[in-house]
A and B are shown apart, each in its own frame.
Chain A
Amino acid sequence: MNFTRRAALMTSAAIAANVVDPFRAFAQTTPRKGGVFVVHYGAEQRQLNPSIQASTGVYIVSGKIQEPLVDLDAAGNPVGVLAESWESTPDGKTITFKLRRNVTWHDGKPFTSADVQFTAMEMWKKVLNYGTTLQLFLTAVDTPDAHTAIFRYERPMPLNLLLRALPDLGYITAKHLYENGDVRQNPLNLAPVGTGPFKFVQYERGQHIIADRHDGYWKGPANLDRIVWRVITDRSAAAAQMEAGQLHYSPFSGLTISDMARLAKDRRFIVSTKGNEGNARTNTLEFNFRRRELADIKVRQAIAHAINVPFFIENFLGDFAKLGTGPIPSVSTDFYPGPNTPQYPYDKARAIRLLDEAGLRPGAGGTRLTLRLLPAPWGEDISLWATFIQQSLGEVGIRVEVVRNDGGGFLKSVYADHAFDLATGWHQYRNDPAVSTTVWYRSGQPAGAPWTNQWGWKDDVIDKVIDDAATEVDPVKRKALYAEFVTKANAALPLWMPIEQIFVTTITARARNHSNTPRWGSSSWHDLWLAE
């Protein structure tokens, strides 16, 4: 009797473990060697070197070929890849990395501190998007020996900021292959050479990229024989190819929302946000303060109160999104200040009262105000969200004209020409608010810089909080400063970030050891394998 009860308890515990972590159940079995893993590649990039272009479209390929100094472990903490250890001086101006020994490039040359120095000074500081901002005050990288790199900064660099930025902005490129000529025009940018578990084989533009296992990998050879990235631009076609068994993995919400929801019910696939926690984003609603009416805080508050965000999420985005509470998403455990910052819950009566108080009375046909809304063309959720905003605001007497552009047109109109009243797109959160979040609020951004404060709005107090936080070395004080930032930013409401999303992975149920780190799609996949 006792035995039976214990067995029953153990069984239910095992089931519970599966519910909490469906991937763990498979982690115990012995990896099968071999196999070809086929990946959906939705948007071809102009080049594939992650040291000079920070984007998921690059990492999804080159993250298997080149490696960063640091990556994130399963719990989201920095873990050394090409760096073994690191330390910072108390003033935060000198950060020393001890580098891994006995690592070689795919061409057989050894990896040394000279590669780190070259990549940091010539690529991160000069070319890499976001890297140029992050490393603005980097003055030199010293290399006392082949396995030590000392980063010297003019202003304090918080160690935690650097370590959270480096998984994306810390890929190393071989100096001996790049030291001659313009790094941007190096032909190896389309045939990357790295230290990772897979080495580049072939890139047929518009068709596929192939990489094979590198047997000399420093962690030991990977399980897979080969990875193939297939270029498929049509999302529905990609879903069809998943079903036909021609594709194993579609990363970063590469399929349509309806196809992902459909495949989630199919036992052959796993559809989940797991493994993408390091790629959080929020949906925005951006206000142009050059429109007199929108410069009034009451009008902005009214607009936020007029939109029923939970209804939108439930009916259009489903399980893949949740209510947002500001510029720092809740997955960012190091910086999330909690939900008790100024929020704007759905309240139509209040929205109408605020508009009345702002002096916007209904005119002919009940219209108080007409606004142009520019949605970014990146995803179908933005398009749906724009239509939802249009209809919601129509109910409180604000007529919205939706003006749709392609990518280049959108960025130019909003961030360079300021030819918008409302705009909506994605804010990408990159594990630390200083990387790509505070630029949405900091004043003094030059016109034409996409995804920055181009609202015609400036707040000296918020500017100061942002600047202080960026150079604050003490992690506790830093977290408090960012909580203050979110509170003040939500109260001032120069833009609104009411929806939080994490990219969705669609992957074959035969894959093992997948989605086990917060930026798994970008990571090296050295332990990934395919079951029979």
Chain B
Amino acid sequence: MRVLSLAGRRLAASIPTLILILVGVFLLLQFAPGDTVDAMMAQMGGGDARTAEDLRRFYGLDLSVSAQLGNYLWRLVRFDLGFSAIYGKPVATVIAERLPATILLMTASLSFAFFFGLILGVIAARGVNKWPDTLISTVGLIFYATPSFWFGLMAIVVFSIYLQWLPAGGLSDITSTATGIRAVLDTARHLILPTLTLGLIFLAIYLRIMRASMLEVLNLDFVRTARSKGLDETRIITRHVLRNALLPMVTLIGLQAGTMLGGSVVVESVFSLPGLGRLAYESVVQRDLNTLLGIIFVSALLVITVNFIVDLIYARLDPRITTGV
């Protein structure tokens, strides 16, 4: 129960942060030149002064900044995210439509990065300074240093255009009418390349953290004790070292859940996926304040939730956190 109250306190502490972020972004966007009507004119490729004036009144842009902000916060208190200027729908609906693709992509690539980062990190740590370590570290560095849009485009060129193994983009094949398990497999096929693209960069970070963490734990006294007891090496690694070395990895997941949402703008654009990243980008370009603030709100909630879960996992991995010793 202690861990729950700990996590609960952290949850409460994040509410002022959330409000600060929302007010900050609202004011920041006021500094950006142009409003949503300018953006709409740009998109239409032309319009006259009367149209623009009408539209400003239509979107309620004739109010003062403080009045607009006050209205927004008051709506938020009542859990109303407002109406999207670009989509002509409530922001909550717009976000709900985009959330599944984002979460799917995020969980898939995070799990991929976590799992393979863990395995490769362990292998590298066990063969430290030998050839597997050098190979894994070098490859990891290459993944980390390569921009993800380039990775994505090259993956499309190789796997979609030349080999024609995988689709080049989209979430599903619209021209097919598959249902049930075949539709799920179709979506899975569409997600392979984006998941790899997004996951490879994070994989590099995970494997390096895992390697460092493993090396540190391997030098501790209890490992020497285990070895002197005559336990075999695999058992030492899995039962004793791994569990202790996992803590930094779990911390990292909590931190990166947020980064993953932002980082997927590029991957979503390259693979034409309907996710939150692209929605946020479009909202900025279109100056759709309600949608952008809504996305920030939802992303923040998502990060807070993930961190809450991470707190719980800490307690499971290391009982000392719960007992407070």
On A, residues with C-beta under 8 Å from B are 36, 38, 43-47, 53-57, 126-130, 132-133, 184-185, 187, 189-190, 204-208, 210, 228, 230-234, 236-237, 240-241, 243-244, 246, 378, 405-413, 416-417, 428, 436, 439, 445-446, 448-452
Tell me the B9-47 residues at the A interface (CB within 8 Å).
32-36, 38-47
Partner of B52, one of A187, A208, A231, A449: A449
- Structural contact, B164 and A244, CB atoms closer than 8 A: yes
Interface string of B43-62 (1 = CB under 8 A from A): 11111111110100010000
List 30 A–B pairs whose Cβ atoms lie within 8 Å, in order of A's numbering.
A45-B43, A46-B40, A53-B44, A55-B44, A129-B44, A130-B48, A187-B88, A204-B97, A204-B274, A205-B97, A206-B274, A230-B174, A231-B274, A237-B269, A240-B153, A240-B156, A240-B157, A244-B156, A244-B160, A244-B167, A406-B34, A407-B285, A408-B34, A408-B287, A409-B33, A411-B34, A411-B42, A412-B34, A412-B35, A451-B47
Instruction: Please tell me if the beta carbons of B168 and A237 are within 8 angstroms of each other in the complex.
Output: yes
Partner of A234, one of B36, B50, B269: B269
- Partner pick for A38 among B167, B175, B271, CB 8 A cutoff: B175
Report B-chain residues with C-beta under 8 Å of the C-beta of A436.
46
Known: A204-B274, A230-B272, A240-B168. A408 touches B48 (CB 8 A): no
> Which residues of chain B in 271-291 are interfacial with respect to chain A, using CB atoms and an 8 Å cutoff?
271-272, 274-275, 278-279, 282, 284-287
Given known contacts A206-B274, A240-B160, A244-B160, is B48 in contact with A439 (CB within 8 Å)? yes
Distance of A54 Cα from B86 Cα, bound (Å): 16
With an 8 A cutoff between CB atoms, is B65 at the interface? no
Q: Closest residue of chain A to B166, judged by CB?
A: A244
Given A208-B174, A228-B175, A240-B168, CB of A233 within 8 Å of CB of B49: no
Count of interface residues, chain B, beta-carbon cutoff 8 Å = 57
**Alpha-carbon distance A132/B149, docked complex (angstroms):** 43
- Nearest B residue to A426 via CB reads B45
The answer for the CA separation of A154 and B132 in the assembled complex, in Å, is 85
Measured CB to CB, the closest approach of chain A to B164, in angstroms, equals 7
**A residues in contact with B152, CB < 8 Å:** 237
User: Is there an interface contact between B161 and A244, defined as CB atoms closer than 8 Å?
Assistant: yes
Interface of B is mostly: helix
Chain A nearest Cβ from B11, distance in angstroms: 31
Instruction: Check if B274 sits within 8 Å of A205, measured CB to CB.
Output: yes
Please indicate the chain B residues that have their CB under 8 angstroms from the CB of A129 in the complex: 41, 44, 46-48, 51
**CB-CB < 8 A to A56: which residues of B?**
45
Residues of B within 8 A of A185 (CB): 88
Residue B169 lies at the interface, judged by CB distance under 8 Å to chain A: yes
Question: Are the C-beta atoms of B98 and A206 separated by less than 8 Å?
Answer: yes
> Of the candidates B54, B161, B272, which one forms a contact with A233 in the assembled complex, judged by CB atoms under 8 Å apart?
B272
Q: How far is the CB of A410 from chain B (nearest CB, A)?
A: 7
Residues of chain B within 8 A of A408, CB atoms compared: 32-36, 38-39, 42, 285-287
* CB closest chain-A residue, reference B157: A240
Closest-by-CB residue of B relative to A233 is B269
In this complex, what residue of A is CB-closest to B50?
A132
- Is A410 a contact of B34 with CB atoms below 8 Å? yes
Nearest B residue to A237, CB-CB: B270
The CA-CA distance from A189 to B33 in the complex, in Å, is: 28
Map CB proximity to A onto B223-243 as digits: 1 under 8 Å, 0 otherwise. Answer: 000000000000000000000
Contacts of B270 in A (CB 8 A): 234, 236-237
